Structure 1
């Protein structure tokens, strides 16, 4: 997260959309990455419209690594992480399989690399409230509670049909509209997708004993069972298993769900209670050949999606936003082709990080769920090496936190 956030003086702006002229930047998608993208475009001095259709509150949490938190602070999106989040000081990995070749229990401590915490676990609702409060202060950022239903290109301008039937013209279009991205489809991006048989079950828990800042991952044959600190004796659960298994357990009632969670946690933290409804999400991977082209930039899950391994989801999306900020700040909007050049620059900035992170997460997940002995042996030997070799462990910290991406 080493890109600065650029700002220009803003005294008074008349929305270009009100004048009938093309807006300079149109951001499609109302999630956290979309709001952050709209803010950095506006702060770069672009007349920006953000299409953010109403959506139910996102009651999940996001574990953001310290470089992501540093970016949020430099961008003015978060002032004090301790005010809304909970520190992640250690990561504990427990091999809970019964395989012939098992990995050792491994503990990673942020103190080893001179940090107080690897990152922070934030409620998405609080992050969204904070982002939206910042967006409201920007006079050249117009937010519309609408979606996009059609996009076509005419030279260096995109004509976007909105969900109320109106049309908006834009020079740069930022797609933050998720896995089924209309922007990505309209831009003709090559996409690769793979659906897994696994899904993720998420809910909040009350533990008998606190995690004390340690994120605990039990690695089972069908995926990790992860407890993330959420303050006090609270924890967020991310449980990956076969979709049919999770769906059956969730629908069997709260008592059965609670019993299974206590079993999966090996009762290391006392009796566990489920304190929020549980939701099950299918898992898949998605990637594009490039993140930007022809005046379109894709951020967040419009460009990449992975299983929730290694806390890379929103972290990677925020790295998208940081590089988008640098690309638009370096562009000259007076040039007729500025948006094409900005999208090309953005794609170049993102290529190495997206390729490396996508490969890392995919390899980690497949090594956990595979039945092939060579892959299991490789994973186990890798964890032994990380446990016994501090320099290698520190290198793994850097890769996982996204600070070794350049």
Structure 2
């Protein structure tokens, strides 16, 4: 570390939604915070269904008012078995009003959410932005040093690795990752349609994965189409008109005539789990901490919970005079995140496996389970509440506030 090195309580590396949220929340907690990331146009046309506590968190960050009018409310979730198999599950509908909510959440284009987060970072006290990239992260006993591409260096007591699936921060902390390829790929694109969606998200379950149509403002929806890699390649190569026709056929024309908007993305699916969520003055959030297939809208919602939990733990540590990058504080963060991440990963993995399985007993079990959820009100309401956020999180937070 040289005389030109600036020292902070926390340095956040990465400027995706999870990283920006973490930087804002941690700075709001009172920590002197550095954000290391270049500003760039978010060209990806993917969207995120923000559920449950994610909206509350963005409200607390003063971000949600900046983008709420560009998001579509999600009132109903509809699951349709379109596998064509001998044993098929009944259609299941989840309605937000059944559990006393106006909405389950909102679907928003990621570029709009990122723009709102970027705008908020410019107004937060305690937050310094470095328009650069991390070239190296070097944890030591007392501090971690981040060397920037531009030649400058930054020191921090805690480094937040929000730098994605190929995380430099994670590697520097010596955290290994277990990765399992799923032999599936997702195609994402947006469509306009002639019929209103009535704020209903419809998920068609096929033998190769789900295809979900999620409302956007107006007569528009985002599409996440999971299939075999070769089929995803075929869909990716279609003309806009051919893709429009394919999406309309896949949706059984429930939204009428469709027109695919410009821009589409294809990406392979995998499940990634790090051996640790924090180590050696580095805490992981977002895709650096977990990668899931796009089932149940869990990915970014978990990333926002990473940011919220980390900010709360860092804030309490600083108030109590603790080192935010100490092993004790990192241990509290790992303990807070492990049950949520592990349980969500397991549920998403099992849901995907049950859908892909051609084993008749598995098909029967899946159909029976969905029938019970659809027919038995208390079980359906439990599934809805747990889908939004783990119920034990709320109990833990209430217990912590009462201490």
Matched, 1:51 2:36: yes
| 8 Å contact kept, 2:9–2:157 | yes
Question: Aligned to 1:306, which of 282, 286, 292?
Answer: 292
CA contact (8 A) 1:294 1:344 kept: no
Residues 370/169 of structure 1: CA separation in 2 closer, same or farther (3 Å cut): same
Q: How does 1:15-30 map to 2 (within 5 A)?
A: 20-30=5-15
Partner of 1:4: none
Match of 2:269 among 279, 283, 297: 283
What is residue 362 of structure 2 aligned with on the other side? Answer: 375
8 Å CA contact retained: 1:353, 1:405: no
With normalisation by structure 2, the TM-score equals: 0.92
Q: Which residue number corresponds to residue 352 of structure 2?
A: 365
Q: Residue 6 of structure 1 corresponds to which residue in structure 2?
A: none
Deviation, 1:159, is: 1.7
Change (3 A) 1:352 1:168: same
3-state SS, counterpart of residue 169 of structure 1: strand
* Residue 10 (structure 1) aligns with: none
> How far has the Cα of 1:336 moved from its partner?
7.1
**Residue of structure 2 equivalent to 1:13:** none
Question: Hey, what's the Cα distance between the residues in 1 that align with 2:351 and 2:3?
Answer: 49
The whole-number CA distance in structure 2 between the counterparts of 1:64 and 1:148 is: 29
Which residue matches 2:399? none
- Per the alignment, residue 14 of structure 1 pairs with none
2:104 to 118, 130, 136: 118
Deviation per residue, 1:80-110 (Å, 9 max, x gap): 7642311000011110011121100111111
SS at match of 1:339: coil
User: Offset at 1:294?
Assistant: 2.7
Q: How far, CA to CA, are the matches of 2:156 and 2:225 in structure 1?
A: 41
Give the gaps of 5 or more residues in structure 2.
Answer: 394-403
The aligned residue for residue 62 of structure 2 is: 76
SS at match of 2:154: strand
Query: Does 2:385 correspond to 1:385?
Result: no
Q: Distance in 1 between matches of 2:269 and 2:279?
A: 27
CA contact (8 A) 1:44 1:328 kept: yes
Give the conservation status (yes or no) of the 8 Å contact 1:156–1:336.
no
8 A contact 1:204–1:235 mirrored in 2? yes
Give me the whole-angstrom Cα distance separating, in 1, the residues matched to 2:194 and 2:70: 23
Greater shift after overlay, 147-156 or 223-232?
147-156
1:22 alignment partner, SS class: strand
**Contact persistence 1:333–1:339 (CA under 8 A):** no
Give the superposed CA RMSD.
2.0
- Please state whether the residue corresponding to 1:331 is helix, strand or coil: helix
Contact 2:45 2:264 in 1 (8 A): no
Specify the alignment match of 1:234 in structure 2.
220
TM-score (norm 1): 0.92
Aligned equivalents of 1:332, 1:48: Cα separation in 2 = 12
Q: CA deviation at 1:267?
A: 1.6
The structural deviation recorded for 1:337 is 4.1
- 2:161 corresponds in structure 1 to 175
In structure 2, how many angstroms separate the alpha carbons of the residues matched to 1:103 and 1:163?
Answer: 53
Give 1:28 deviation, angstroms. Answer: 0.5
**1:355 corresponds to 2:342:** yes
Deviation at residue 161 of structure 1 after TM alignment: 1.6
1:106 and 2:70 matched: no
* 1:18 positional shift: 9.1
Q: For structure 1, which segment, 214-223 or 255-264, has the greater mean C-alpha deviation from structure 2 after superposition? A: 255-264
Describe how 1:205-220 pairs up with structure 2 within 5 A.
205-220=191-206
Cα 1:405–1:247, aligned 2, differ >3 Å: closer, same or farther?
farther
